[in-house]
Structure 1
Amino acid sequence: MFGYVVRRLIAGVMVLIVVSMSVFALFFYGPNDPAYQYCPETRCTPAKLEQIHHSMGLDRPAPAQYLDYMSGYVKSRTITNGGISVECSWPCLGVSFKYRVSVRDYLMARVPATLAVAFGGATIFLVLGVGIGIIAARRRGTTSDKAIISASLFVDAMPSYLLFLLSWLYFVQRLGWFPDTGYYSPFVDGPVKFVDGMLLPWLIIGIASASYYARFSRGSMIEVMGEDYVRTARAKGVGEGKIIMRHALRAAIVPVVTIFGLDFAGLLTGTIFVEKIFGIQGLGLAGLDAERRVDLPMVSACVLIAAALIVVANIVVDVLYSVIDPRVRLT
């Protein structure tokens, strides 16, 4: 397994290098000139624009600029953008065009909110979805099974952003059940206010995603329940609950882990609709705001962070295969 993990890590680093090159080329040699962010249109003379190009290092060869851009990931440095010098601690992700602060410090302040959304929402949709899937599989063909499948299809047919918006309008604005939605630090504001602010976003994320997990878990459980070792255990008189938890679920959960790893990485990169509707200042909202303001360092940092999380999630999922299912061997 060790050799497999090392090879996957090397491949993941290569993927991130390719992504970083693409991001660098897109945002620093694309249609938008970064220097214009520091040069007002009404006062942007050619001499001033050239001076900004020089201060930002845009007049240097492209390989030198890329190496300088990537050096921030291994050391601290001082960045001068538009005549403003900012100390950028390791890992330095650049300086925001809009806020003139370190991108790393700006994004790190939003990480706790994103982690809260991701862990809470993922826990609910995984437990709820797999649990409902098991119930439907055990009652295959019955009225309850058909009702579960119909309800999950109904939820899936509704766009997630519409579900988030309707829940906010109804439960927050009309009924007032969750008046203080948003992220509150459990260490500063207390755990009660933290849970009260995040409960509705967690529930809506869980319900929106649990329907898909329920159908996927149901299909996987039905397939596993027909295997020879499950029928043998049942013939030996093993209890149904023990068969489900110790034999069937362990094999059926393997394909679920694949989609869960990617979905969880997606939550960590920021849930834009949830953060926007419920006023949660997370990474998704930071990336959306940066894209709207053409804040190139902020956008490029968000893209690289998202790529890194997805690569790591894929590696972790592959390793978990061998832990969950002993039949899987990583070579």
Structure 2
Amino acid sequence: MGQFLIRRTLFMVLVLFVVSVLTFLIFMKLPAGDPARMMAGQRTNAEDLQEIRENLGLDQPFWVQYGRFAKGMIPWPGLWLNEQIYYSYTNNVAVKEEIYPRFPYTFALAIGAAVIWLAVGIPVGVISAIKRRTFADRSSMIIALIAVSAPVFWLAYLFLYLFWFKLGIAPPSGIPSDEGVVQAMITGRFVLPWIVLAAAFAAFYSRMTRGNLIETMGEDYIRTARAKGLPERKVIFKHGLRSALTPVVTMFGMDLGILFGGVFITETVFNIPGLGQYAVRAIGNNDIPAVMTVVTIAAAFIVILNLIVDVLYAVLDPRVRYS
């Protein structure tokens, strides 16, 4: 296992390097306009444009610009004052000075939604599999189908209308500037975003858990366990559910990466000052360094989660072995 972790970690570093280089190359070659002119405006002279290009490092070779971009993402406060840090094109502020204060909001939103969809989706799927073809099974699967089909932005506006505007039991969208992440969670400002973001995933996981558990309960080793006289509860939860959750773990690692797409919409609708809202504004302003940094952070998040999923595979399924 130790050698496996070392190999996977080295491979993860290589993947992150390749992804960051490709991301930087693609965005720097996009015809998004002259960044220097975007900062200076249309009414400027050639000397001012050249000075801005030199300050941004746009006149330097590709690898020098990439080095500044990579260095600008290093989460080390002492480097924030370094003149080589990559700056935003719209406000001439170091990108990571804007990104890292926003990261806790996105992290809290993503982790909270993940906890909810696992806490709801898996138990509902297990109950539906155990109570197969009953009213509880059919009704829960119908609700799950509706939740999977509902767009995130539609659910967000519907929940805001019902629970804030009509019923008044939920706080309005937005987080005050003087309110941190912990205080925002205490005051309930993350409750609706968590539910909206988790709804489709919880529905999908309930359907997947149900199907996997029903299939697993028909395996030979399950029949053998029953023939030995093991209690049905032990057969289901110790032998059946453990194998049924292996595909769920795989999907969970990928879905946390896909979650960034839902975060963009959710943070925009609920006015949460996280990475998603920042990325949407950066795309609208053609702020290339900001968009590149968010994309690279998302890629790093996915790669790290895949490493964690590979390790959990061996824990959940004894048949998995690493050479």
For the criterion TM > 0.5, the same-fold answer is: yes
| Distance change (3 Å), C-alpha of 1:68 and 1:264 | closer
Alignment map for 1:295-306 (pairs within 5 Å): 295-306=287-298
Which residue of the partner structure matches residue 233 of structure 2? Answer: 241
- Segments of 4+ in structure 1 off by > 6 A? 74-79
2:37 partner letter:
Y
For residues 93 and 13 of structure 1, the distance between their equivalents in structure 2, rounded to whole angstroms, comes to 22
Alignment match, 2:39: 38
For the 8 Å contact 2:156–2:269, the answer to whether it is kept is yes
Aligned residue identity for 2:5: V
**Runs of 5+ consecutive residues of structure 2 not aligned to the other structure:** none
Contact 1:270 1:282 in 2 (8 A): no
Counterpart in the other structure of 1:326: 318
> What is the deviation of 1:156?
1.6
Q: Structure 1 109/11 Cα, relative in aligned 2: closer, same or farther at 3 Å?
A: same
Q: In 2, distance between residues paired with 1:93 and 1:226?
A: 58
CA 1:142–1:275 in structure 2 vs 1: closer, same or farther (change >3 Å)? same
Q: Encode CA deviations 1:197-225: one digit per residue, 9 max, x unaligned.
A: 11222222232221100110011101111
Give the corresponding residue for 1:13: 13
CA contact (8 A) 1:270 1:285 kept: no
**Could you state the TM-score of these two structures normalised by the residue count of structure 1?**
0.87
Amino acid at match of 2:35: P
Matches within 5 A, 1:169-318: 169-183=161-175, 184-185=179-180, 189=183, 192-193=186-187, 196-267=188-259, 271-318=263-310
Q: How far has the Cα of 1:291 moved from its partner?
A: 0.9
Q: TM (normalized to structure 2)?
A: 0.89
- State how many pairs are aligned: 319
CA contact (8 A) 2:56 2:87 kept: no
Deviations 1:129-156 (A, max 9, x none): 1111101111222333222222211222
**What amino acid is aligned across from residue 192 of structure 1 in structure 2?**
I
Q: Is the 8 A contact 1:283 1:302 kept in 2?
A: yes
Residues 224 and 248, structure 1, Cα contact 8 Å, conserved in 2: yes
Q: Please state whether the residue corresponding to 1:87 is helix, strand or coil.
A: coil
Paired residue type of 2:186: V
Q: Any conservation in 2 of the 1:168–1:277 contact (CA below 8 Å)? A: no
CA distance in structure 1 between the aligned counterparts of 2:82 and 2:173, rounded to whole angstroms:
33
Residue 25 of structure 1: aligned partner: 25
Structure 1 position 179, deviation (Å): 2.5
Distance 1:58 1:179, change over 3 A: closer
Deviation at 1:102, TM superposition (A): 2.3
| Selected match of 1:111 from 103, 106, 124 | 103
Equivalent pairs: percent with the same residue?
38
- Aligned pair partner of 1:140 in 118, 132, 136: 132
Is 1:168 matched with 2:160? yes
User: Is the 2:71–2:85 Cα contact (8 Å) retained in structure 1?
Assistant: no
* 3-state SS of paired residue (2:193): helix
Give the C-alpha shift of residue 182 in structure 1: 4.5
- Conservation of the 8 A alpha-carbon contact between 2:155 and 2:196: yes
Seen in structure 2, the aligned counterparts of structure 1 residues 293 and 277 have a Cα distance that, compared at 3 Å, is same
Once the two structures are overlaid, the 10-residue window that deviates more, 19-28 or 319-328, is 19-28
**Structure 2 vs 1, CA of residues 165 and 325 (structure 1 numbering), >3 Å: closer, same or farther?**
same
Aligned to 1:115, the other structure's residue is in SS state helix
Shift of 1:23: 2.2
Residue of structure 1 equivalent to 2:93: 101
TM-superposed deviation, 1:53:
2.0
Q: What RMSD in Å do the two structures reach over aligned CA positions?
A: 2.6
Work out the CA distance in 2 between the residues paired with 1:128 and 1:283. 26
Q: Secondary structure at the match of 1:197?
A: coil
